[in-house]
Amino acid sequence: MQSPLYTWLSIAFLVAAGTTGDCLMSRAMKHIGDPGEIMRQQGLGTVIRRMSMSGRIWIAVFFMALAFFALLFALSWADVSLVVPAAASLTFVTNALAAKVFLKENVDRRRWAAAVLVCCGVALLART
């Protein structure tokens, strides 16, 4: 088992990279449109071509890959019952903040309440 400092640093990096990837992916997919609808009308090839030619998707995938490797480091240093819930609970709050600031989503009280409830719930699940 590695030092807790390394574990928490990798979790912090995982949360930052994951949130960046989530925001970029959300913006890219809103621009591309619903893959299900596109596939129904134009086929799977169009969906693959449209997504693979989107620069935003690739930047989002890059940040998600960074988050993935941070997850692998963290999982090799600490238990999954700590790493996954801790990273997820922090990501709920950072995602809500980033969605409001960068994506201009209407994060009303209900959405904040949901993020905080899920964050606390996941933190409690991680204690056992």
Partner 1 sequence: MKPRHFLVLAGMVVFSSVGDILLSRGMKGIGAVSLSHGLQLIPAVFNPWVSLGILFLLGYFVSYASALSWADLTFVVPATSFGYVLIALLSQLFLGENVTVVRWLGILLVSAGVGVVARSPHLTKDHEEAPAKVFSPALSAASEGNS
Counting contacts by CB under 8 A, is residue 124 touching partner 1? yes
Whether 47 contacts 84, CB under 8 Å: no
Angle of CA points 20, 63, 111, to nearest 5°: 30
Whether 23 contacts 63, CB under 8 Å: no
Q: What is the DSSP letter of 13?
A: H
Whether 128 contacts 85, CB under 8 Å: no
C-alpha 118: how far from chain center: 15
Q: Which of 14, 17, 71, 90 binds partner 1 (CB under 8 A)?
A: 71
Tokens of residue 4, six digits = 């807790």
Counting contacts by CB under 8 A, is residue 66 touching partner 1? no
Q: Which of 51, 59, 62, 66 binds partner 1 (CB under 8 A)?
A: 51
Residues in contact with partner 1, shown as a per-residue x/- string from 11 to 40 under the rule CB under 8 A: -----------xx-xx--xxxxxxxxxx--
Which parts of this chain interact with partner 1 (CB under 8 A)?
1-2, 6, 22-23, 25-26, 29-38, 41-42, 50-51, 57, 64, 68-69, 71-73, 75-77, 80, 84-85, 88, 91-92, 95-96, 98-100, 103-108, 110-111, 113-125, 127-128
